[in-house]
């Protein structure tokens, strides 16, 4: 048995988040940064569906095409551009354990 260390690599990432809450007839409408994520991923747009999950708001997510197939990124998840230009979602607790910010950039 041998021990290995992960090579240091700098990645680009953006967090899927609510950027504005707008009062409306049914409570609060939430505006997401899906257009910023679409630009980051170089795609024209991203669909932001909401699925029931036992809460009045439901579960809001985006679908990411990865090397392993389609994955869902929930609000709060990070979308990472890998070293070969691939994209995949990462839960915030895992992201924060693995990565630290080295610089701010426009997304």
- pTM of structure: 0.81
Residue 35 included in any domain: yes
Question: What SS3 state is found at 55?
Answer: coil
Give the residue numbers spanning the domain of 76. 12-98
Residue of 76, 79, 83 whose CA lies nearest to 11 = 83
Is residue 4 one of the residues assigned to a domain?
A: no
Return the SS3 of 11.
coil
Contact between 17 and 78 under an 8 Å Cβ cutoff? The reply is no
pLDDT tens-digit profile, the chain (107 residues): 988 887 888 899 999 999 988 888 777 778 889 999 999 999 998 888 887 766 667 788 999 999 999 999 999 999 999 988 999 999 999 999 999 888 876 54
Is 103 part of any domain? no
Asked, for residue 50, whether it belongs to a domain, the answer is: yes
Sign (positive/negative) of CA torsion 70, 8, 84, 1?
negative
Report yes or no on 43 lying in a domain.
yes
Domain count, the chain: 1
Q: Is residue 5 part of a domain?
A: no
């Amino acid at each position: 048995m041998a021990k290995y260390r992960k090579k240091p690599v700098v990645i680009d990432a953006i967090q899927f988040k609510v950027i504005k809450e707008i009062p409306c007839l049914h409570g609060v409408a939430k505006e997401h940064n899906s257009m910023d994520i679409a630009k980051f991923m170089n795609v024209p747009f991203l669909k932001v569906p909401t699925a029931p999950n036992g809460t009045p708001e439901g579960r809001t997510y985006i679908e990411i095409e990865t090397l392993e197939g389609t994955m869902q990124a929930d609000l709060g998840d990070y979308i990472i551009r890998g070293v070969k230009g691939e994209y995949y979602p990462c839960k915030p607790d895992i992201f924060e354990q693995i990565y630290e910010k080295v610089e701010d950039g426009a997304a």
